[in-house]
């Protein structure tokens, strides 16, 4: 027979076991959620050496490069706010992970997504840092890669010198040097120069805004200005939108202004929409006006719709009017189809009416079918 005291002990013991079990389960979940097993993130199959930075990052990289042979150098930097996931679309199979691992040596690219895209573990919070990895060989940086710490990376058996204590401003200054020394085309342009601009934009530091502002200046090579335009819109908030507004107004290159329009289209700042509308109406290039109209269609909203309709009515170039008609076809059907019908019925320009009819035919909307029936039966 069990006494009351004994029953209490049994209950208490069960409660302790449940608490221990619950803690173990919680620990397993949190362990899966931790974005890195060590300072270098989830990098496996690498011969890792850790060293503290005692001088400039440029000097540290030079010292490692002077050893000879191919070596990867890595460090952490603070990342701009928001849920982001940077990992590979080129991965190796891993039975212990749903999504494989990035090949540090042979991987062909990195994808960046917003939100929690890692299916193999739960992310409790967005990352506050990201990894910068540089491959040095023959005394020079031959490749640059960036990842968030939740990305599984296969080091390919390579040496990896992991640097601790890298200051954000020092990182940005070093990356700026990589951009400045990159050629206008070729492998180093693609694998180092362009990636360095993206890495600068990912830094959560005021120095990144200053660096990007400098890279967007008219005196810089056109490829640098074009590449910077996208990152200003996608990662740098209101400050980035202000620089893009300046680029639209002042940059002499049609190609750069085209890229600035795209940068504005991915910006979430209200001022970006205003500048996009101004570009659709006022840019001296018909191509840039047409591109602005295209991206406005994806923004939707009454301001965007009014700008598109205004281009159809008022733009002096028929090709821009036709692009504006295409932009109508990209609007939600409840807005776009009635406007296309109106253009097809009433616009004075035959090419514009023809374009509206073409996109009405592609819509397969019942209202478009009725419009064609009315025309054919008259």
| pLDDT exceeds cutoff 90 at 6 | no
In a domain, 179, yes or no: no
**Digit-coded pLDDT (tens) for 66-120:** 988 999 999 999 999 888 889 886 555 444 444 557 899 876 666 777 654 444 4
Residue 285's CATH number? 1.25.10.10
Residue 372 and residue 361 in contact, taking contact as beta carbons nearer than 8 Å:
yes
**Digit-coded pLDDT (tens) for 146-185:** 999 999 999 999 999 999 999 999 999 999 999 999 999 9
In a domain, 232, yes or no: no
In a domain, 180, yes or no: no
Residue 46 and residue 105 in contact, taking contact as beta carbons nearer than 8 Å:
no
Question: How confident is the model at residue 68, as a pLDDT?
Answer: 85
Q: How many domains does the chain have?
A: 1
Q: Which domain holds residue 358?
A: 269-378
What average pLDDT does the chain have? 85
In a domain, 354, yes or no: yes
Identify the sign of the CA torsion 338, 341, 343, 348: negative
Q: Is the pTM of this model over 0.75?
A: yes
Instruction: From residue 142, give the alpha-carbon distance in Å to each of 90, 133, 187.
Output: 19, 11, 9
User: What's the rounded Cα separation, in Å, for the pair 49 and 335?
Assistant: 60
In a domain, 56, yes or no: no
In a domain, 248, yes or no: no
In a domain, 349, yes or no: yes
In a domain, 258, yes or no: no
């Amino acid at each position: 027979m069990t006494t009351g005291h004994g029953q209490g002990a049994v209950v208490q013991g069960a409660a302790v076991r449940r608490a221990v079990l619950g803690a173990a389960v919680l620990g397993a979940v949190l362990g899966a959620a931790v974005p890195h097993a060590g300072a270098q993130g989830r990098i496996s199959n690498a011969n890792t050496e850790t060293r503290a930075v005692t001088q400039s990052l440029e000097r540290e990289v030079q010292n490692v490069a002077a050893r000879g042979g191919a070596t990867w150098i890595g460090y952490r930097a603070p990342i701009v706010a928001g849920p982001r996931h940077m990992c590979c679309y080129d991965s190796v199979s891993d039975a212990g992970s749903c999504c494989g691992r990035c090949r540090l040596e042979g991987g062909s690219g990195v994808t960046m997504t917003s939100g929690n895209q890692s299916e193999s573990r739960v992310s409790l919070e967005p990352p506050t840092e990201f990894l910068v990895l540089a491959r040095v060989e023959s005394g020079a940086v031959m490749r640059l890669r960036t990842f968030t710490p939740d990305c599984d990376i296969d080091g390919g058996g390579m040496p990896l010198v992991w640097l601790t204590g890298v200051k954000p401003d020092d990182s940005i200054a070093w990356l700026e040097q990589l951009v400045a020394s990159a050629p206008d085309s070729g492998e180093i342009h693609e694998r180092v120069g362009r990636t360095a601009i993206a890495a600068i934009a990912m830094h959560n530091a005021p120095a990144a805004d200053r660096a990007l502002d400098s890279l967007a200046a008219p005196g810089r090579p056109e490829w640098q200005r074009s590449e910077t335009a996208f990152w200003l819109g996608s990662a740098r908030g209101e400050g980035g939108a202000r620089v893009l507004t300046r680029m639209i107004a002042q940059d002499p290159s049609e190609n750069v202004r085209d890229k600035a329009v795209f940068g504005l289209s991915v910006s979430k700042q209200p001022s970006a929409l205003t500048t996009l509308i101004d570009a659709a109406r006022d840019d001296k290039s018909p191509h840039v006006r047409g591109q602005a109209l295209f991206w406005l269609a994806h923004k939707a909203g009454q301001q965007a719709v009014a700008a598109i309709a205004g281009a159809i009515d008022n733009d002096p170039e028929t090709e821009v009017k036709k692009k504006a008609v295409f932009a109508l076809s990209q609007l939600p059907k409840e807005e776009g189809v009635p406007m296309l019908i109106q253009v097809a019925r009433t616009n004075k320009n035959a090419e514009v009416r023809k374009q509206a009819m073409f996109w009405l035919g592609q819509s397969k909307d019942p209202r478009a079918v009725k419009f064609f029936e009315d025309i054919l039966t008259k």
